[in-house]
A and B are shown apart, each in its own frame.
Chain A
């Protein structure tokens, strides 16, 4: 079985702080994998190194068997890595449809096309509408992102990632700041993707994690202390001590 994502000894320090300490993580294709850890464990730094926003001090990142350690963010995206951000990143003045259409456009070769009106381009709008429908935003297509609710924006961000036709989705706390209803909706959407696309989920909401993950990795102080099935993680003494013991309710 090929690995969707593999990191080998990934290390990154900020001054005296070692945010990633020889992290070696393996995610299999079509696996739904969750990354958990207390605040300040280095999750965001790790995600940054996976997506290319942060260049590691040492170690390698492999994406579907290719070494992408030195690749830029856009290049990794076009290689099949779709992502959402901890704090929503959307083009707020664009409509929901245009946000997704922009992602579709990225998959259709270069955008040095200067004359035709992109807003009337069926090759962009039709697939974009399909993706919006998949995340349940079909009826919100013409609303500008800045007027969507928080939960809708998270859904839209997921749509932008899906529109790229990614082979792996990296989701940085997609449930953050959501009410129970919105969370349930998001879990439902993600459930539908499970098994179809590889998913790496960083999440604090333990219900969501246990509902969605095939395997869970636990990051503490920049080090991976365990990777295992949810049930095993639940039982893991070390994890309980370091993490669940302090944070679980």
Chain B
């Protein structure tokens, strides 16, 4: 019964995401598509963060850093191409099939370095240190005046996708949705695989895992890097959506908001984080549209979720207990 309800919810979510471009002309045009694109992109970030929070019990409070790095990679590549300034001999690029994987690579490398350090600790140390390192990356980009520093870096146009221009909002939405589908697929295989078993085993009982001969550190590091890469991809998409990357994409508030999305939707559930991203953006947009003091209401809303709905929307639908 519970399973059926959650399957239904997942089905509804997929149907809604696919229906958006067809329904958009009747309910607000490109604005709706843009909002839906944000939901999809933040859905990817939330999904990747859930690999850490939900599956590995690693509460990372610095996930925005990898998101922002991904955004900067595409903005910087486009900046060098547009201004005819080679970057270490590379002319820069505006081709999505080049710069998006590059964004993932850079975010993944950053996650590798930061993760290697942070994963030496655990629990509350881990929370604070991931936050502190993200803040460090934030400050580095604020100080990078060549790339706009605090002002951020604008892109003249969206990336080309296999040589084609993506000017149409709907086309871009389909690309983002495709990326989300790919990430969902990867995440799903990851969590049922042997690798995923070790991660969730480590989340469930670290001592038992050690006694069975698992050095959990290496597995967690790989998970941290994979999550960083997915966030990097999302960042690349987000920079394309806005044609703009800025240190704001790395701010600790955004890291906090990503966590809220994951938990609002439901930790350790495949579709929960995506639902969380949708609900979060919906609530935030409508509240901030209604009152400039929206935080007064949004804060307690987050608080109530933390206190009374720790398993999020997915948990509510699925029912308690099992």
Q: In residues 190-229 of chain B, which contact A (Cβ within 8 Å)? A: 190, 192-198, 200-201, 204-205, 207-215, 219, 222
Contact size class for B?
A: 20 to 34
Contacts of B207 in A (CB 8 A): 53, 85, 89
Asked if A246 lies at the interface with its beta carbon under 8 angstroms from chain B, I say no
- Decide if B189 touches A91 in the complex (CB within 8 Å): no
- Cα of A116 to Cα of B197 in the assembled complex, Å: 11
- Decide if B208 touches A160 in the complex (CB within 8 Å): yes
Given A73-B211, A89-B207, does the pair A102, B193 have CB atoms closer than 8 Å?
no
Contacts of B190 in A (CB 8 A): 114
Contacts of A98 in B (CB 8 A): 197
Given A89-B205, A91-B204, does the pair A121, B213 have CB atoms closer than 8 Å?
no
Contacts of B212 in A (CB 8 A): 74, 77, 102-103, 106, 160, 163-164
- Decide if A112 touches B195 in the complex (CB within 8 Å): yes
- Decide if B193 touches A117 in the complex (CB within 8 Å): yes
Q: In residues 243-261 of chain B, which contact A (Cβ within 8 Å)? A: none
Asked if A236 lies at the interface with its beta carbon under 8 angstroms from chain B, I say no
Given A91-B208, A94-B204, does the pair A164, B213 have CB atoms closer than 8 Å?
yes
Contacts of B192 in A (CB 8 A): 117-119
Q: In residues 172-199 of chain B, which contact A (Cβ within 8 Å)? A: 189-190, 192-198
Contacts of A115 in B (CB 8 A): 189, 193
Given A105-B197, A113-B194, A116-B194, does the pair A90, B189 have CB atoms closer than 8 Å?
no
- Cα of A160 to Cα of B201 in the assembled complex, Å: 13
- Cα of A94 to Cα of B195 in the assembled complex, Å: 15
- Decide if B193 touches A106 in the complex (CB within 8 Å): no
Nearest-Cβ distance from residue B310 to partner chain A, whole angstroms: 15
- Decide if B195 touches A102 in the complex (CB within 8 Å): no
- Decide if A105 touches B211 in the complex (CB within 8 Å): no
Which among B197, B204, B205, B214 is the interface contact of A74 at CB below 8 angstroms? Answer: B214
Residue of A nearest to B204 (CB): A91
Given A90-B205, A111-B198, A111-B219, does the pair A77, B210 have CB atoms closer than 8 Å?
yes
Which among B201, B210, B219 is the interface contact of A94 at CB below 8 angstroms? Answer: B201
Task: Mark each residue of chain B from 158 to 175: 1 if its CB lies under 8 Å from any CB of chain A, else 0.
Answer: 000000000000000000
Q: Which residues of B contact A (CB under 8 A)?
A: 189-190, 192-198, 200-201, 204-205, 207-215, 219, 222
Supply 7 A–B pairs (Cβ within 8 Å), ascending by A. A74-B212, A78-B213, A89-B207, A102-B198, A111-B214, A113-B193, A117-B193
